[in-house]
Amino acid sequence: MEIPGDLRYTNDHEWVRVGDDGIVRIGVTDYAQDALGDVVFVELPTVGAEFGGGAVCGEIESTKSVSEVYSPLEGVVTAVNQAIVDDPSLVNSDPYDSGWILELRIGDPSTLDALLDADAYRSMTEG
Q: What is the pLDDT of residues 79-111, one digit of tens each?
A: 999 999 999 999 999 999 999 999 999 989 999
Contact 3, 115 (CB under 8 A): no
115-125 pLDDT, tens digit each: 999 999 999 99
Rounded to 5°, angle at Cα 65 from 64 and 69? 135
CATH class of 8-105: mainly beta
pLDDT band of residue 20 (cuts 50, 70, 90) is confident
**How many angstroms separate the CA atoms of 49 and 38, rounded?**
28
**Region 52-60 average pLDDT:** 95
What DSSP string runs through 15-44? EEEE-STTEEEEEE-HHHHHHH-SEEEEE-
Q: Which residues contact 50 (CB under 8 A, 6 or more apart)?
A: 75, 76, 77
